[in-house]
């Protein structure tokens, strides 16, 4: 089924995505200055050049810095961009001995504590204990470090990321990860060792089943993110091209791009929209789910680096509390085909 495109479909497909892709390839991974002459000529958008609107791939985004460090260490294409103290830490990692269970536990821990998100100078590493896990070989050692941080009253959460609700009354997320989280990683590692790879959505639902049995609120967002992490780094266990639950920002992003047909189930709508964008631009539904979360912030002109606004005057037209008005968009000087050369 083809969805009816809305005005911001072109904003995403012809303006935002190709510029973000250029910034990712040339500045975020490469060495081109995002505020230099070449970027000014090609991107020509102060919000994108000064904000965190420089990625279309999960592994390059700030919320994935720590996991990329743990997985690929000095072989990561972004290693040369890491701060010196992070580089020194990465070179001491012992993750080559980690089991699938250890990886899954780490993914859940990272997502449940906000993924180090800050949108500013320490983006990707804000209050992250997970970045220190690579120095250890076993979950028990990482639990010891977690409880040491807790005794020292060191924060393990970012105040900006999507922190889930406390599991049980009086139980912190860190304590959950030291107890229930270990069990969750064990059962999930067995679940994804099927004859055929599981889907991201099925894996998310599997992790939530335990919460429902225990009377704990669902952790849709962190479990979906962790399941997508398994898909990215362990594609034989979870299919990276499979469908997933959309977070609220990604849903808003899709509603800005497409009209939802009357009577169409929300999951069917988000699946159809993600597939349409994947076919148009490449990458996967999980990648676009992430990029749409950034896109909705772009429409809201969110930037912690200063009072920058997107150059086209783009804004929400159909979601949030924004007025549903049609505005004149700036002419796009660089069509998609030129950007993708």
- Residue pLDDT, tens place only, 98-116: 999 999 999 999 999 999 9
Q: Is it the case that residue 32 has pLDDT exceeding 60?
A: yes
* Whether residues 37 and 112 fall in one domain: no
Length of the chain: 341
- 84 vs 53: CA distance, rounded Å: 24
- Residue pLDDT, tens place only, 275-324: 999 999 988 999 999 999 999 999 999 998 889 999 999 999 999 854 34
* Whether residues 297 and 227 fall in one domain: no
* Whether residues 263 and 161 fall in one domain: no
* Whether residues 84 and 214 fall in one domain: yes
The pLDDT confidence band at residue 3, using thresholds 50, 70 and 90, is very high
- 5 vs 258: CA distance, rounded Å: 5
Point out the least confidently predicted range of 144-148, 158-162, 185-189, 316-320.
158-162
Beta bridge pairs of residue 238: 198
Residue pair 274/240 in contact by the 8 Å Cβ criterion? no
* Whether residues 306 and 238 fall in one domain: no
Q: What pLDDT does residue 161 have?
A: 54
Average pLDDT rounded to a whole number, residues 40-66: 93
Domain finish residue from 195, 220, 245: 245
The whole-angstrom distance between residue 317's C-alpha and the CA centroid of its chain comes to 24
Q: What pLDDT does residue 324 have?
A: 41
Domain finish residue from 215, 245, 275: 245
Q: How many domains does the chain have?
A: 2
* Whether residues 233 and 323 fall in one domain: no
Q: Which of 109-118, 160-169, 174-183 has the highest mean pLDDT?
A: 174-183
What range defines the domain where residue 17 resides?
Answer: 1-54+246-341
Q: What pLDDT does residue 160 have?
A: 57
Please tell me the pTM assigned to this model. 0.89
Q: What pLDDT does residue 335 have?
A: 39
* Whether residues 173 and 199 fall in one domain: yes
* Whether residues 209 and 128 fall in one domain: yes
* Whether residues 136 and 187 fall in one domain: yes
* Whether residues 260 and 237 fall in one domain: no
Domain finish residue from 230, 245, 260: 245
* Whether residues 80 and 115 fall in one domain: yes
* Whether residues 92 and 165 fall in one domain: yes
């Amino acid at each position: 089924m083809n969805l009816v495109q809305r005005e911001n479909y072109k904003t995403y497909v012809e303006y935002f995505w190709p510029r973000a892709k250029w910034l990712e390839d040339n500045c975020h991974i490469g060495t081109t200055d995002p505020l230099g002459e070449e970027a000014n000529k090609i991107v020509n958008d102060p919000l994108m050049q000064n904000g965190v609107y420089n990625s279309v791939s999960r592994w390059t985004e700030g919320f994935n810095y720590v996991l990329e460090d743990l997985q690929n260490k000095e072989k990561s294409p972004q290693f040369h961009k890491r701060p010196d103290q992070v580089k020194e830490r990465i070179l001491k990692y012992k993750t080559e001995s980690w089991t699938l269970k250890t990886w899954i536990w780490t993914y859940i821990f990272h997502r449940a504590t906000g993924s180090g998100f800050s949108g500013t100078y320490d983006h990707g590493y804000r209050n992250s204990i997970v970045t220190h896990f690579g120095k250890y070989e076993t979950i028990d050692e990482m639990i010891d470090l977690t409880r040491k941080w807790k005794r020292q009253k060191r924060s393990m959460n970012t105040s900006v990321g999507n922190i889930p609700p406390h599991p049980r009354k009086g139980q912190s997320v860190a304590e959950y990860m030291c107890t229930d989280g270990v069990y969750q990683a064990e059962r999930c590692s067995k679940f994804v060792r099927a004859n055929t790879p599981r889907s991201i959505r099925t894996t998310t639902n599997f992790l939530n089943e335990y919460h429902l049995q225990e009377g704990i609120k669902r952790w849709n967002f962190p479990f979906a993110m962790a399941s997508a992490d398994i898909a990215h780094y362990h594609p034989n266990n979870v299919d990276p091209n499979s469908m997933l639950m959309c977070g609220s920002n990604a849903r808003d992003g899709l509603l800005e791009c497409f009209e939802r047909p009357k009577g169409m189930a929300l999951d069917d709508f988000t699946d159809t929209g993600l597939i349409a964008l994947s076919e148009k631009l490449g990458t996967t539904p999980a990648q676009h789910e992430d990029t749409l979360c950034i896109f909705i912030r772009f429409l809201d002109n969110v930037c912690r680096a200063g009072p920058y606004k997107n150059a086209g005057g783009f804004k929400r037209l159909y979601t949030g509390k924004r007025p549903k008005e049609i505005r004149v968009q700036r002419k796009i000087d660089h069509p998609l085909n030129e950007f993708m050369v």
